[in-house]
Amino acid sequence: MTPQSITARAHEWIAPALAPGAVAIDATAGTGADTAFLATRVAPGGIVHAFDIQPAALERSRARLADQSVDAALCWHIACHSTLSGVLGGSRAAAVMFNLGWLPGGDHRLITRPETTCAALEAAAAAIAPGGRISVVAYRGHPGGQDEYAAVAAWLQRGAHGLIVHDPLPASASAVAPVLYRIAAPA
């Protein structure tokens, strides 16, 4: 399974939780693939909050969505994904997507980190609506990737917030292939 197809698997996992008018979060906007997916699924009338610490990532995401006619509100946050709970104003998210690692084509020294990713998972778990879904694609093949993967796995094993964690889907048998975690909130 390639990284692109693991992203498609994440979209397949998240899709049943989304409906027109829903609130969704792309915790790591990157190139905007997940943002665009979420926006089309919550339209009309939904809201997508997209986070990234790199202005270039949000610019790429905006450009990707500029050519699409999407009837959803797009809220762009130049902020760490660990701050996501501060923007919801008490509303709950139907879905939260994480695509960890670095911005493709960007500076590979700027990566998601275990401590902020685990804080973001805490925030996502607190913000997810009953029956909502979370996806985490963890890339293990870059410097820091194995540590972040291990931190996510440890966070999930603690069983926080009563979330239902399905067996991870590896992209391949390789020890450095990306892994998809599929997480559901009880209904």
pLDDT in tens, 28-39: 999 999 999 999
CA dist 101 and 81 (Å) reads 13
Q: What's the farthest any 2 CA atoms get from each other in the chain?
A: 42
pLDDT digits (tens, 9 = 90+) for 83-131: 998 898 889 999 999 999 987 888 888 889 999 999 999 999 999 999 9
Q: What is the 3-state secondary structure (H, E, C) of 111-128?
A: ECCHHHHHHHHHHHHHHE
* Per-residue model confidence (pLDDT) at position 99: 95
d(CA 79, CA 158): 27
Q: What is the pLDDT of residues 125-171, one digit of tens each?
A: 999 999 999 999 999 988 899 999 999 999 999 987 889 999 888 87
Q: Return the pLDDT at 82.
A: 94
Domain limits at 147? 3-184
Distance, C-alpha 69 to centroid of its chain: 22
Domain count, the chain: 1
Peptide bond just before 20 cis, omega within 30 deg: no
Kindly report, residue by residue over 71-93, the tens digit of the pLDDT. Answer: 889 999 999 999 998 898 889 99
CATH assignment at residue 143: 3.40.50.150
97 with 27: CB under 8 angstroms? Answer: yes
